[in-house]
Amino acid sequence: MASDQNTILKEGGTMFISLHPFHENDPWHLPLLIVFFTASTGIWLYSFSRWKNLLVSIYCFYFEPSTDDACPPDLLQGKEPHVTVQICTYNEAHVVEETISRCCKLDWPLHKLSVQICDDSTEKESITIIENCVLRWREKGFAVSRHARPNRIGYKAGNLNHNFPFVEGEFVAYLDADHQITADFLRKTVPHFYDANGVSNDHIGLVQTPWSYYNTHENLLTECDALGLDIHHVVEQVGRHRAHGVFGFNGTGGVWRKEAIQAAGLFSSDTVTEDLLLSYKAYLAGYDFHYVRTAPQQLEVPGNFLAHIQQKQRWTKGFIQVLWIFYGEVLVSPNTPFQVKLEAFLHLCGPLQLIMTALVFMVYPYLVYHQIDSLMVKAVSVSAIVEPVASALHALTNKVPGENGYYNLWWSRLLRLTVILPYFALRFGMSAFEVKAVLEGFFSDDATFLTTPKAGLKNNICERTNARKIKVCPTDDLTAFAGLCLAFHQTIYVFALDGRLHGCGLFDIFIRAMNMIICIGLYWVNSSFLITKYCNHLETLCMSFSQQKQRAFGVVFIVGVNCFMVMTYSQLSDGLQNSTPHLSLTDLRDSSTPWACPAHAYATVKSPELLVVFGEPRTGSNLFFNILDGLQDGAGEQLDIRNMLEPYTHDEAEQVRLLRRCVNAMHEGCNLPVHIDGGDETWAYSTTQRFFARLKGESGSAWSLSYQKLMEVFNSRYKRQADWIKYISSIPSASEHSVVAFKIFREHLDELSMSPVQFIKSLGRAKSVPIILWRRSIIETFVSYKLAVQKNAWLLENTTEKDAIRIERLELELFIDEKRRYYESIRDGLAANGIDVDVVEYGRDLSNRGAQIKTIGRLQERLGVVGNVLAEQIIAKTILKKQAQVPLYQQVENWDEVMTWGYGKDAHDWEDIFVRA
């Protein structure tokens, strides 16, 4: 029977493959086993830390009830130290105003308190609100000030470092813009820097308070998010504090000793969790931390999925960044106990736990199907969920109510039990985004800090306005779709396969229930993200799913979607049982097949060679492409060079010129009807829209076959850049050897958000020959570029002494440095990836007739042109226009001054970056 499921059948000359997707011999069998046992091993290792923190926290709450947090109310009465409160904000005036007011109402001597708003705001409204608020409180006698800086270098870390010199006194409290502290905040934190006799404990570097949330009941998302944060504060922070005296600073709601921050080297902008890195640096510098679990301070949790995903991805990425860049110092620290090193490692690897747990439950149905079941497998699966459930119950039971009074009554805590399952669904639903953030943490050095927009205590900003302020990474869309595909796949797994098994034990039901929760979470999170981001008409409906009064409607929606999937794939499962699935190989389409022309046009066509010319303006690109045109004429039928100019240009006239070339190439290679005569200027419209309108009118039925596709790939060339190049290169040619040549300038790469190496790799399997154009006569390049910008024309044959410009040294040196870094990045990137490249330097290869003859010979050899191609004839046909009627020194007003800077004395102002072997 097994052999019948893995056979190749032939029917009428057509080949079919039949392979049961879950057969024991299928290629996924061993990889899935490895995934399961690797993930389960990771869970076991991490569970040591989780269980230890949970048990320590339980001991603290039940056997040391609040005694460790108690401070005599008059401990520092009359001897209060000076404290500075710094509020870090970025375009958050609607929430920071309340925070400023609460800081000014702190129970602390007025002359011993300074409130500083570290404002990076760029919105005029935010700046005005903050300045007015500061002015009101200053008029009342409070030491309140706003500190701004000219740029946002280093983001939040840079903001805090910039304002650290303004800290007054030996203690500084850090607050986020939405952190609504209570009046006794300093009375409950600062005394912990002293012993019972009022003597300073110099080894205490940080006192941290837990969080509460003023918008917990806003929707189901905020309920789940608040529960997750409560688990962090009640279990993890308390456990690490009591067991090791070290934990991660939460970035807000904490008071630091100024000397501890200095000893740690201030805040680092190399990671998006600068608070976490500062904690470990301060610990290695010899400081201990204290956690005041009975003094919660309220703030806001994200109220929509865009903000939630952005925030959680930032935290996950930051953890991995700290692990990657700093854990080595913790590991080799001679004064750090082994248990702290282990705890730090497991702490920083925390984001991996969710991924491993999801993998265990998602692979488990496969193991059951193949009867790969044992006590160990069951124990691993159960342990993966028992500790999180126990932690959630402990957090619900022992959460200290905040100022808003949530969960003061026992029945309110009991009702909160209903949030546990949605919380797990939310956490599992974040799996795809967590994986993306982990990969970015390991392989990306980007430390851009994206601030999460807040609505405020009074909720005076609508959700739609708030959502528009969120900067979502483009790859998040792909991640969301991947998450939906994963949910789709897992639904098939659970209901179409596992649902047909005979096992109905309690454990089987438990495993299926957990997989159901994973499916619901994946659908919920990823679909809500996409709907909130793209569907403006459904945005309000999406938000209303989680409103408290309409929560039932949201639950019905999610369950309904899953029931639909269950019924659909139950039918699919029955189909698998009653018939043998066959896949006809003749129906498969080759994804690499070009589609510029009808399929019959590609019967004997070979893939063209891509000549990718990287360069900058004023490096001889027009001259180089004129030489290519001349080489085309001299090579005859053995070589077809299609000069496609700048495929990503923003110049509409150049775009129309490029489209004309494409249409004519399709006329010759695809036998399509439209041909544009070179002398027909009626096609040279000012807009591409008019060009396509005329093309549609003259092409007839051919429009829907090919020209419409041309318009589609052209209009989406910045989103799907590889499709545009593939389309151009797919136009057939009758020549034995065809070459498609085009220019890629740095401005094009910036528009595409790609490096030269990434662009080359995006072309896929296409054979590409990168060529680099550059110019060592940097003064001539700079002057030529400045004149072109000044005259708004790239051909400068009419330039005279009257057009001379003045060169500023700083501008010139920045220009040189920018060019150098660009070309060095090209050189190093191509070399690191083993990509062969040809270099054409203007002064050496294009500036005179002899150099041009040698360059033609090199190109002829590189492109495989056989026979004698008369270089002199090519040069004679090449259009050469002088860039100026006067020498270079007459084009610069302060030429003598420039000479003193060390430039212009030689034709080559800098060394040869591309030294040939």
Task: Give domain status of residue 3, yes or no.
Answer: no
**Stated pTM of the model:** 0.56
- Do residues 105 and 183 make contact, with C-beta atoms less than 8 angstroms apart? yes
What are the DSSP calls for 676-705, one per residue? --TT-GGG--SSHHHHHHHHHHHHTTHIII
CA of residue 513 relative to chain centroid, distance: 33
Query: pLDDT value at position 906?
Result: 55
Residue-wise pLDDT for 884-916, tens only, equals 567 777 788 888 888 887 765 555 556 676 764
DSSP classification of residue 13: T
- One DSSP character per residue, 430-475 reads THHHHHHHHHHHHH-------PPP--TTTT-S-HHHHHHT----TH
Q: The dihedral of CA 865, 871, 876, 878: what is its sign?
A: positive
Tokens 């492109």 correspond to 863
pLDDT for 904: 56
Q: % helix / strand / coil in the chain, to the nearest 5?
A: 55, 10, 35
In a domain, 196, yes or no: yes
Establish if 520 belongs to a structural domain.
no
Note down the domain range covering 192: 67-347
> Would you give the DSSP letter of residue 200?
B
Active-site position among 69, 119, 120, 176: 120
Q: What is the mean pLDDT of the chain?
A: 75
Does any domain span residue 301? yes
CA dist list (Å): 750 to 651, 725, 753, 759 = 16, 17, 5, 11
Q: What is the mean pLDDT of each run of 10 residues along the chain (917 residues)?
A: 35 32 52 76 79 87 68 74 92 86 90 90 88 90 89 87 90 91 89 84 90 85 89 89 84 91 89 89 90 86 86 88 87 86 85 76 63 60 76 84 60 78 87 85 75 61 49 72 80 58 58 77 85 62 45 49 46 38 29 51 61 80 79 70 82 83 81 74 71 81 72 81 78 77 83 80 71 78 77 61 82 82 83 81 77 79 66 62 64 82 61 61
Exposed, middle or buried, 843 (CB in 10 Å: 0-12/13-18/19+)? middle
Residue 733 lies in a domain: no
Give Dmax over CA atoms of the chain in angstroms: 99
Which tokens in the block code for residue 565?
């999937």
Instruction: Report whether 479 contacts 436 (CB < 8 A).
Output: yes
Active-site entry in 69, 176, 178, 275:
275
SS3 annotation, 310-360: HHHHHHHHHHHHHHHHHHHHHHHCCCCCHHHHHHHHHHHCCHHHHHHHHHH
491, part of any domain: no
Active site residue 120: yes
- The whole-angstrom separation of Cα 127 and Cα 130 is 5
Question: Which residues are CB-contacts of 845 (< 8 A; sequence separation ≥ 6)?
Answer: 851, 852, 854, 855
Tell me what pLDDT residue 605 has. 54
> Is residue 110 situated within a structural domain?
yes
Helix (H) or strand (E) holding 517: helix 506-534
Is 767 among the domain residues? no
Torsion angle of C-alpha atoms 684, 689, 691, 696, degrees rounded to 10 = -170
Q: What is the pLDDT of residues 32-80, one digit of tens each?
A: 777 777 777 777 778 788 888 888 888 888 887 655 566 666 677 778 8
Whole-number pLDDT of residue 345: 87
Active-site residue, 275 included: yes
Q: CATH code at 119? A: 3.90.550.10
pLDDT of residue 672: 80
Query: Domain count of the chain?
Result: 1
